[in-house]
Structure 1
Amino acid sequence: MVNIFQKKVLILAIYAGEIMMKNGAEVYRVEDTITRICKACRMDHVEIFATPTGIFVSLDNGGEDDDPLTYVKRIDGIETDLNKISKINHFSREFTTTDLSVDDAMKQLKEIDETKPYPIPLRLLGAALVASFFSLIFGGAPVDFCVAFVVGMFAYAFSRFLGKFDINFFVRCFCSCAGAAFLALVASSWIDAAAYQPVIIGTLMIFVPGVAITNAIRDFLSGSMLSGICRMMEAFLIAVALAAGAGVVLKLWSVIGGVFG
């Protein structure tokens, strides 16, 4: 017979782990959060196996008459939202140290999951600043800063536009970087003082998978080898997409007789 309380705890723990995994948390952090939630509800036997594409949890009270409950949750699409991860960390600490009920905890998780990201104008501004300041770091001039500001904003906006059609992240990166490279080349050919190299590099930095690389290393160090390999391969493929998008446009520009600035 199914224990209703155990089922609620299992669904709560899985939901918390799902939110964390979908927003870029490390596997060991997801497993630790699920374990703490289950232990706080006096579930003595908890087994968790998490990967970037799925979470598997099994638990029971350890009694002779208890039937273990198992839940498998598939993870579709991973973004990066450190704000939600921080909120789940705070939630797990509150849940394990207070008398918060499972039903109230589920309401909090739903509120966290429905938290809206930063407004689009603010994210566009952030992307533009990333591209422009990185162009200066890589040897750009003040005019390159201005060009990268506009190109970076366009590249990020185009990526978000493609995302509305459920286009995978690799294709979005390829197309966005290809468009950014084309705009940088056009700008460098029209403006004598502008150089396309720092503009392109600065724009590419918007899409560099820094979180995936960091999480892959941390998963390796924590012993989650499968997750580390998956995340490292993800980062590698994204890097290939970035390089291919810019490289294809540079090659086509030279073939059709474009003049580099």
Structure 2
Amino acid sequence: MKIWGEIMGKADDVMDICLLAGQIMLTYGAETYRVEETLERMAKSASFSNIHCFATTTGIFLSFEEKKEKEDLMQMVRVDDRLQDLGKVTDVNQVSRQFVAGDITIEEAHEKLTAIAKAPMQYPLWLIHIAAGIAGGGFSYLFGGGWFDLIPAFIAAVVSSIVVVEFERHLKVRFAAEFTAAFAGGTTAILLVLIGIGSNLDQIIIGSLMPLVPGVPLTNAVRDLMSGDLLAGVSRGAEALLTSLSIASGIALTISVFL
């Protein structure tokens, strides 16, 4: 009974670190096939067999079997948040490689993963907003705007970035936050042009929307579809489509009100 308890204790610990690793990766922008592959390798390195992992955009199912006792263990974890921080995905991958290679123990892996999950974002919000403004100004020029359109595009993109972050923090509904941010960014762009700051309204509006474009979900949708994960690929594609519709609706409302 003591040996059996030790086996099940190890199985529970391995299950915990596998699901924690998968939850972090899925939350911060990893593809589902990468999550499944990482968890399967971690469980296999811990001497478990008959390993099966199924990940979607909102949850992870993992099961494996202890070779000697032929007992199956299965758990799932739900993932509600979807953020973008590929640095944390890279950190989890590094921990999984160390665990698979045997360089760290189960306890050390759990400590490292917990620290990654609790770590703040790599960059402060003010720097993210400024970077969004620079990207907005750059894209406005790239799409045919002039040098004098860089400043209004920068301001409008910063407004969009601030609004989407703050509204999502309070509303907890990303699509509503993106709609509001598109409306705020478009309104800022139109008002700046009306008072004489900038001349190419279309290019300035395009720049204001760049912080809202769902680049990572769209890229992951294509990669999941190419790897054969049809459910995850379609769901991520639907998420990117809804985001695009939210942005388009916000801009349409802005144009209909102010122009």
Q: TM-score, normalised by structure 2?
A: 0.94
User: SS of the counterpart of 2:170?
Assistant: coil
The one-letter code of the counterpart of 1:101 is: T
1:247 and 2:236 aligned: no
The answer to whether the Cα contact below 8 Å between 1:187 and 1:196 also exists between their aligned partners in 2 is no
Q: 1:139-150 counterparts in 2 under 5 A?
A: 139-150=144-155
The one-letter code of the counterpart of 1:226 is: L
Cα distance in 2, alignment partners of residues 187 and 98 from structure 1: 59
Cα deviation 1:56-106 (Å, max 9, x = unaligned): 01111233x332111010001101101001111111111111341101110
1:92 and 2:100 aligned: no
Structure 1 equivalent of residue 118 of structure 2:
114
Cα distance in 2, alignment partners of residues 181 and 193 from structure 1: 13
Cα distance in 2, alignment partners of residues 106 and 198 from structure 1: 48
Cα distance in 1, alignment partners of residues 13 and 164 from structure 2: 38
1:82 and 2:86 aligned: yes
Extract unaligned runs of 5+ from structure 1. Answer: 255-261
Structure 2 equivalent of residue 23 of structure 1:
28
Cα distance in 2, alignment partners of residues 94 and 192 from structure 1: 54
Structure 1 window deviating more from structure 2 (143-152 vs 193-202): it is 193-202
Structure 1 equivalent of residue 170 of structure 2:
165
Q: 1:141-220 counterparts in 2 under 5 A?
A: 141-191=146-196, 193-220=198-225
Report % sequence identity.
30
Q: CA deviation at 1:193?
A: 4.6
Cα deviation 1:224-256 (Å, max 9, x = unaligned): 0000000000000000001110111101223xx
User: SS of the counterpart of 1:205?
Assistant: helix
Q: CA deviation at 1:206?
A: 1.1
Cα distance in 1, alignment partners of residues 231 and 67 from structure 2: 29
Runs of 4+ displaced beyond 6 Å = none
Cα distance in 1, alignment partners of residues 248 and 44 from structure 2: 46
Q: 1:192 to 1:164 in 2, by over 3 A?
A: closer
User: SS of the counterpart of 2:62?
Assistant: strand
Q: CA deviation at 1:141?
A: 1.1
Extract unaligned runs of 5+ from structure 2. Answer: none
**RMSD over equivalenced CA pairs, Å:** 1.3
User: SS of the counterpart of 1:45?
Assistant: strand
Q: Report the count of equivalent residues.
A: 253
The answer to whether the Cα contact below 8 Å between 2:189 and 2:208 also exists between their aligned partners in 1 is no
The answer to whether the Cα contact below 8 Å between 1:22 and 1:75 also exists between their aligned partners in 2 is yes
Q: CA deviation at 1:216?
A: 0.6
Q: TM-score, normalised by structure 1?
A: 0.94
Cα distance in 1, alignment partners of residues 37 and 166 from structure 2: 35
